[in-house]
């Protein structure tokens, strides 16, 4: 098995092959089962097997990542979502309920957000509309969707069900 | 957005220049519609299902369409405006990790299409975007 600390980029409005952006600060299995969130300018990557590290890049540039700070716990198979200013790292296969948040524009360690006791532990997908983050699927082929309000630090609430329960869906949000 | 048609006097031009009203706003890296792509069943079968939700409401997801390749998940999704992009795909047993990048139009429903290839086939990566540029980071293969 090989682990990759590489970062690729694409121009979303076009099609075509990805281009090398730079490298993460991490090595080995710390690059597996990670998650990321972003503002319009900065992307923050965190977690992995089995680390609590976060690093960041300026998306409009290219170049290697820089250390951001630490999550409150080492997490892998976690997921992440963001508002324009706040990023949230959610749960993980080894962290059953807790979530962390960061201020994307700064650097520093993450802070406890609240708990998600609605959905399963890890292997979820998460997306946001800028104010609310939704987390779906996950460990055990869950069909549960839960949500949090990103600007708060409150616990997750049930949203509804996926059409098919599954592990590790990708999640994204876009214009309706 | 201002109406750009017609004849503009210098005052109107100045107001629009000062307030940057000429510019089309850049695409956002988030939107009202949440989309969940692929994954694998409890028995390990890769799925090509795509669901969507209205994030500001609550309720069950609705079928969106299908991925252009089976994906066991463990991949990353990102978006800009009305385009969603998925990369880092594991095609399941017998297929393994592929370097495909796929895309969907989030504002419609329908199946995914081919976008291009990652520089390195890998899964269990992370994806994020500024709205106009998308990045895929880390992973294993």
So what's the ipTM on this one? 0.98
Q: Please check whether residue B96 lies inside any domain of the structure.
A: yes
Helix, strand, coil abundance in chain B, percent, nearest 5: 5, 45, 50
Q: How far, in Å, are A56, A58, A112, B71 from residue B117 at the CA level? A: 23, 22, 37, 15
Pairing between β-strand A86-90 and β-strand A98-103 as defined by DSSP bridges: antiparallel
Residue percentage of chain A with pLDDT more than 90: 99
Q: Please check whether residue B135 lies inside any domain of the structure.
A: no
Residue B94: the pLDDT is 87
Residue A94: the pLDDT is 94
Residue B22 has pLDDT above 90, yes or no: no
Number of domains in chain B: 1
Please name the member of A1, A8, A15 whose beta carbon is closest to the beta carbon of B118. A8
Residue B3 has pLDDT above 90, yes or no: no
For residue B13, list its beta bridge partners.
none
Please name the member of A20, A130, A162 whose beta carbon is closest to the beta carbon of B119. A20
Per the CB < 8 A criterion, the answer to whether A122 and A93 are in contact is: yes
Mean pLDDT computed over B65-81: 89
Q: Please check whether residue B68 lies inside any domain of the structure.
A: yes
Mean pLDDT computed over A30-40: 98
Q: Please check whether residue B1 lies inside any domain of the structure.
A: no
The mean pLDDT value of chain A amounts to 97
Residues in B 12-31 with any Cβ partner in A closer than 8 A: 26-31
For residue A176, list its beta bridge partners.
none
Residue B73: the pLDDT is 73
Q: What string of H, E and C letters represents the secondary structure of B3-56? A: CCCCCCCHHHHHHHHHCCCCCCCCCCCCCCEEEEEEEECCCCCEEEEEEEEECC
Please name the member of B28, B73, B83 whose beta carbon is closest to the beta carbon of A166. B73
Q: Which residue, A124, A125, A119, is CA-closest to A144?
A: A119
Structure tokens at A151: 């600007």
Mean pLDDT computed over A96-103: 96
What are chain A's domains? 6-11+19-161 (2.120.10.80)
Mean pLDDT computed over A89-118: 96
Residue B4: the pLDDT is 62
Residue B1 has pLDDT above 50, yes or no: no
Q: Which domain holds residue B119?
A: 33-130
Mean pLDDT computed over A88-102: 96
Per the CB < 8 A criterion, the answer to whether B98 and B121 are in contact is: yes
Asked if B39 lies within 8 A of A158 by C-beta distance, the reply is no
Helical H segments across A19-101, by residue range:
none
Residue A68 has pLDDT above 90, yes or no: yes
Q: Please check whether residue B139 lies inside any domain of the structure.
A: no
In A, which residues are within 8 Å of B34 by CB distance? 127-129, 134, 136, 171-173
**pLDDT tens track for B75-117:** 899 999 999 999 999 988 889 999 999 999 999 999 999 999 9
Residue A154 has pLDDT above 90, yes or no: yes
């Amino acid at each position: 098995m090989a682990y990759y600390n590489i970062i690729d980029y694409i121009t979303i409005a076009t099609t075509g092959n990805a281009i090398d952006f730079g490298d993460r600060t991490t090595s080995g299995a710390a690059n597996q089962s990670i998650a990321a969130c972003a503002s319009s300018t900065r992307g923050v990557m965190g977690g992995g097997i089995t680390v609590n590290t976060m690093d960041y890049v300026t998306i409009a540039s290219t170049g290697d990542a820089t250390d951001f700070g630490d999550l409150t716990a080492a997490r892998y198979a976690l997921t992440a979502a963001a508002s324009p200013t706040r990023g949230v790292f959610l749960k993980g296969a080894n962290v059953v309920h807790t979530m962390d948040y960061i201020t994307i524009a700064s650097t520093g360690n993450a802070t406890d957000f609240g708990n998600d006791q609605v959905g399963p532990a890890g292997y979820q997908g998460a997306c946001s509309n800028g104010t609310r983050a939704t987390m779906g699927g996950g460990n055990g082929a869950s069909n549960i969707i839960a949500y949090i309000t990103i600007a708060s630090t409150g616990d997750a609430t049930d949203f509804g069900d996926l059409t098919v329960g599954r592990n590790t869906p990708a999640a994204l949000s876009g214009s309706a | 957005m201002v109406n750009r048609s017609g004849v503009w006097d210098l005052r109107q031009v100045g107001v629009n220049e000062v307030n940057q009203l000429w510019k089309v706003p850049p695409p956002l890296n988030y939107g009202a519609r949440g989309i969940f792509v692929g994954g694998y069943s409890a028995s390990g079968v890769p799925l090509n299902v795509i669901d969507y939700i209205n994030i500001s409401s609550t309720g069950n997801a609705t079928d969106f369409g299908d991925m252009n390749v089976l994906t066991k998940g463990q991949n990353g999704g990102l978006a800009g405006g009305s385009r969603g992009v998925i990369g880092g795909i594991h095609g399941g047993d017998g297929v393994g990790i592929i370097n495909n990048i796929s895309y969907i139009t989030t504002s419609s429903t329908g199946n995914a299409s081919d976008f291009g290839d990652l520089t390195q086939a890998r899964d269990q990566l992370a994806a994020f975007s500024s709205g106009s540029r998308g990045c895929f980071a880390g992973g294993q293969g």
